[in-house]
């Protein structure tokens, strides 16, 4: 059907994208691999020498790496749990007959459009400030001791902020999936006398399995590199309590100028992300008839 | 009886949904309200919700004294520019994959997707050094290029899923009528593709506007967009809540409006067509 001319033209039109993305992926990655095998500190230019796997050894055995690794797991795991569970509940709620559904939808989707530096600072100052924040006032009005969020539970505070940013994403995708669930199927189940809990368990939840997987994979890819929220609130502290791998690499590179170790860390992050990406690409690929 | 149950159900669901929506939206609302308070009022406990002396002085201050008017154009140039360049590169690519697919098209699409999976922090060091050596640090053009490349996979994918839905019969009919490929592109495809192109542009402007990894790491003042400008309020001496709120409100308002328009297309764009 497509003529030879059209095919040639098609290839020409595709090539800029492929070349650009190839360069964008390969050049920095090759440099990261190269730097990761060097002793290279920006403070001592010209002193680079071959380090073999030393940088990996330093990065992986550094107690800061273990702390950052644990923090990354806690952050990603908690935000995923919170956004998926509440996402399902809110999506189920919004799927009901509701007056003014569109307005509610707009309110729920709102946080997704807020730039991370704004949401982190608004939460930190206006809501979570231990003296003048709104949460402190609520706690005091209830006769409780206000919590100094970023001193007493810094990681929890970050988790709350990031969950707030990603809840709309999960909700919106799950709601879209719910709305494509055949109403007849559900009604049939109810006619058969299925209780709403078993309708949910045996019909709705299996239908949501794939969208939930997609939400988990895409969120994980973004959550592995949460940076701005930590950058403007805690700066990774107190101590290392809120340092995740992304922030650790940033501080190695741009605060300690240790290019070698930061590159080794960067490569560790790439490997972790690629394991996840493998599964996401497979799921998307199954759905694609190109 | 059944009717009454249905009414009760609707009322309960409506009340619950409005409460949930209000709670989720509240931080944004609270920020907007605080932006109309005086600095003193903003720190007051108990906080006043609506009954205070509303003032717009923060907006005036943010416009005059701080460099809001310097950073907002940076955001517009970087977000708008990176999106436009990405569209120029991606439209032909998506067109070719949707209308003249080859055996490898599927693999190419999945490969394009996989380039988006690269964590930015993994290539921070080389990009930073390249930028330093090419004197691109803190330059608009540098940020524009980086954001364009990092969003290119999403742009190609979104456009592809839209172009895929254009019926091929129309193309064949126009070819029978002797239309050349150029005419076909301009007169037949473009009008049908406009809605898809428009929502791709909107989503990518939003993503680029809010991007806060590269902008924080590669710009400091001259090219700094609003994400970086707002981050400057995190320093202890910058703790002016009312002004922070005013600056933040100005920074997010345009995007919030755009976002609300695109929310229907958002799911498709962000899940690479895996959820429709």
B207 vs A35, B156, B256, CA distance in Å? 30, 15, 12
Q: Which segments of chain B does DSSP mark as H helices, in order?
A: 2-34, 39-43, 57-64, 68-99, 105-115, 124-133, 140-164, 168-176, 181-183, 190-210, 214-218, 226-231, 241-270
Cis peptide before B46 (omega within 30 of 0): yes
Chain B positions touching A272 (Cβ under 8 A) are 119
Residues 158-197 of A with CB under 8 A from B: 164, 167-169, 172-173, 176-177, 180
Q: Which residue of A has its CA nearest to B206?
A: A113
Domain with CATH 1.10.3720.10 in chain B: 67-270
For the stretch B118-142, what's the b/e string if a residue is b when 16 or more beta carbons lie within 10 angstroms of its beta carbon?
bbbbbbbbbbbbbbeeeebbbbbeb
Residues 146-185 of B with CB under 8 A from A: 149, 152-153, 156, 172, 181
* Shortest alpha-carbon distance between residue B64 and chain A (Å): 20
The pLDDT assigned to A210 comes to 82
Number of residue pairs across A and B with CB atoms under 8 Å?
324
Asked if residue A151 is part of any domain, the answer here is yes
The pLDDT assigned to B90 comes to 92
Give the integer Cα–Cα distance in Å for B35 and B243. Answer: 6
Give the integer Cα–Cα distance in Å for B29 and B22. Answer: 9
The pLDDT assigned to A289 comes to 57
Q: Compute the residue count for chain A.
A: 290
Are the beta carbons of A126 and B31 separated by less than 8 Å? yes
pLDDT above 90 coverage of chain A, percent:
19
Domain extent, residue A121, equals 62-257
The pLDDT assigned to B273 comes to 67
Out of B27, B152, B258, name the one closest to residue A122 (CB).
Answer: B27
Cα of first residue to Cα of last residue in chain B, in angstroms, is 37
* Shortest alpha-carbon distance between residue B76 and chain A (Å): 14
Out of B96, B118, B266, name the one closest to residue A273 (CB).
Answer: B118
Residues 36-65 of B with CB under 8 A from A: 42-47
A171 pLDDT exceeds 90? yes
Residue-wise pLDDT tens digits, A74-95 = 999 999 999 999 999 999 999 8
- pLDDT digits (tens), chain B, 276 positions: 566 777 888 888 899 999 999 999 999 999 999 989 888 777 777 777 777 888 888 888 887 766 788 888 899 999 999 999 999 999 989 988 888 888 888 888 888 888 887 788 888 888 888 998 898 888 889 999 999 998 899 899 888 888 888 887 777 777 777 777 777 777 777 788 888 888 889 888 988 998 888 998 888 888 888 888 888 887 765 568 888 898 899 889 888 888 887 777 777 777 776 676
**How many structural domains is chain A composed of?**
1
User: HSE (CB half, 13 Å, CA atoms) of A44?
Assistant: 9
Residue A215: which CATH number?
A: 1.10.3720.10
Q: Is A41 on the interface with B (CB under 8 A)?
A: no
For chain A, percent helix, then strand, then coil, each to nearest 5? 75, 0, 25
Chain B positions touching A16 (Cβ under 8 A) are 89, 92-93
Closest CA to B76 of B252, B264, B235, B209: B209
Chain B positions touching A121 (Cβ under 8 A) are 230-231, 233-234, 244, 248
Asked if residue A34 is part of any domain, the answer here is no
Statement: B67-270 belongs to CATH 1.10.760.10: no
Q: Is A243 on the interface with B (CB under 8 A)?
A: no
Give the integer Cα–Cα distance in Å for A166 and A164. Answer: 6
Give the integer Cα–Cα distance in Å for A133 and A126. Answer: 5
CB B140 within 8 A of CB B70: no
Interface ipTM > 0.90:
no
Residue of A2, A3, A9, A14 best to disrupt the B interface, most CBs of B under 10 A: A14
Are the beta carbons of B234 and A121 separated by less than 8 Å? yes
Average pLDDT of the residues of chain A: 84
- Residue A132 DSSP SS3: coil
- Residue A39 DSSP SS3: strand
φ and ψ at residue B38, rounded to 5 degrees: -80, 160
For residue B74, give both structure tokens. 């940076």
| Contacts for A22-28: CB closer than 8 Å, 24+ residues apart | A24/B115, A24/B149, A24/B152, A25/B115, A25/B118, A27/B126, A28/B123, A28/B126, A28/B127, A28/B130
Residue labelled with tokens 């509940």: A89
Which DSSP string corresponds to A14-28? Answer: HHHHHHHHHHHHHHH
Give the integer Cα–Cα distance in Å for B45 and A189. Answer: 53
Q: Compute the residue count for chain B.
A: 276
CB A130 within 8 A of CB A149: yes
Chain A positions touching B216 (Cβ under 8 A) are 117, 227-228, 231
Give the integer Cα–Cα distance in Å for B187 and B179. Answer: 9
- Alpha-carbon Rg of chain A, whole angstroms? 24
Q: Is A127 on the interface with B (CB under 8 A)?
A: yes
What is the separation of C-alpha B23 from the centre of its chain, rounded to a whole number of angstroms? Answer: 23
**Enclosing H/E stretch for A228:** helix A228-233
Residue labelled with tokens 């039109």: A13
Give the integer Cα–Cα distance in Å for A272 and A270. Answer: 6
The pLDDT assigned to B2 comes to 62
Give the integer Cα–Cα distance in Å for A56 and A36. Answer: 8
Are the beta carbons of B156 and A17 separated by less than 8 Å? yes
Q: Is A138 on the interface with B (CB under 8 A)?
A: no
The pLDDT assigned to A33 comes to 87
A227 pLDDT exceeds 60? yes
- Indicate the DSSP class of residue B271: T
Give the integer Cα–Cα distance in Å for B132 and B128. Answer: 6
Higher pLDDT pick, A24 / A46: A24
* Shortest alpha-carbon distance between residue A159 and chain B (Å): 15
The pLDDT assigned to B274 comes to 67
- Indicate the DSSP class of residue A115: -
């Amino acid at each position: 059907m497509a003529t030879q001319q059209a095919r040639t033209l098609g290839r020409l039109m595709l090539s800029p994208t492929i070349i650009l993305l190839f360069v964008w992926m390969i050049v920095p990655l090759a440099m990261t691999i190269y730097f990761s095998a060097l002793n290279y500190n920006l403070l001592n230019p010209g002193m680079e020498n071959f380090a073999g796997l030393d940088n990996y050894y330093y990065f992986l055995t550094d107690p800061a790496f273990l702390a950052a690794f644990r923090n990354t797991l806690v952050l990603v795991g908690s935000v995923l749990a919170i956004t998926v569970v509440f996402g399902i509940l809110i999506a189920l709620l919004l799927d009901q007959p509701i007056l003014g559904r569109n307005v509610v939808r707009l309110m729920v989707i709102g946080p997704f459009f807020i730039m991370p530096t704004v949401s982190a600072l608004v939460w930190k100052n206006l809501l979570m400030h231990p003296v003048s924040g709104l949460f402190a006032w609520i706690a005091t009005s209830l006769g409780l001791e206000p919590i100094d969020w970023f001193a007493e539970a810094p990681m929890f505070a970050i988790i709350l902020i990031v969950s707030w940013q990603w809840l709309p994403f999960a909700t919106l995708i799950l709601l879209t999936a719910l709305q494509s669930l055949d109403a007849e199927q559900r009604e049939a189940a109810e006619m058969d006398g299925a209780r709403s809990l078993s309708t949910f368990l045996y019909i709705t939840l299996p239908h949501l399995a794939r969208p939930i997987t997609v939400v988990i994979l895409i969120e994980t890819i973004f959550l592995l590199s949460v940076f701005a929220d930590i950058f403007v609130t805690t700066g990774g502290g107190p101590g290392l309590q809120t340092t995740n791998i992304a922030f650790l690499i940033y501080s190695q590179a741009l605060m300690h100028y240790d290019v070698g170790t930061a590159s080794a860390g960067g490569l560790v992050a790439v490997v972790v992300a690629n394991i996840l990406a493998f599964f996401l690409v497979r799921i998307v690929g199954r759905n694609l008839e190109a | 009886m059944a009717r009454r149950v249905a009414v009760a159900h609707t009322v309960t669901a409506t009340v619950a949904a409005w409460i949930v929506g209000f709670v989720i939206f509240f931080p944004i609302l609270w920020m907007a309200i605080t932006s109309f308070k005086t600095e003193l009022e903003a720190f007051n406990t108990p906080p006043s919700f609506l009954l205070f002396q509303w003032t717009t002085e923060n907006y005036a201050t943010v416009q005059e004294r701080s460099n809001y008017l310097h950073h907002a154009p940076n955001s517009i140039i970087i977000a708008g520019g990176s999106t436009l360049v990405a569209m120029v590169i991606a439209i032909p690519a998506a067109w070719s994959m949707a209308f003249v697919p080859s055996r490898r098209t599927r693999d190419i699409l999945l490969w394009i997707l996989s380039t988006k999976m690269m964590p930015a922090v993994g290539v921070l060091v080389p990009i930073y050094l390249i930028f330093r050596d090419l004197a691109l640090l803190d330059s608009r053009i540098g940020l524009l290029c980086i954001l364009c490349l990092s969003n290119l996979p999403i742009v190609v994918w979104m456009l592809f899923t839209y172009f895929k839905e254009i019926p091929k019969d129309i193309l064949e009919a126009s070819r029978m009528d002797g239309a050349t490929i150029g005419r076909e592109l301009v007169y037949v495809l473009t009008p049908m593709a406009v809605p898809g192109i428009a929502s791709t542009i909107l989503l990518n402007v939003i993503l680029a506007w809010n991007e806060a990894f590269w902008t924080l790491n590669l710009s400091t003042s001259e090219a700094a967009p609003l994400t970086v400008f707002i981050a400057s309020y995190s320093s202890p001496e910058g703790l002016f809540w009312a002004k922070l709120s005013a600056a933040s409100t100005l920074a997010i308002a345009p995007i919030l409006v755009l976002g609300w328009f695109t929310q229907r297309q958002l799911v498709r764009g962000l899940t690479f067509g895996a959820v429709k």
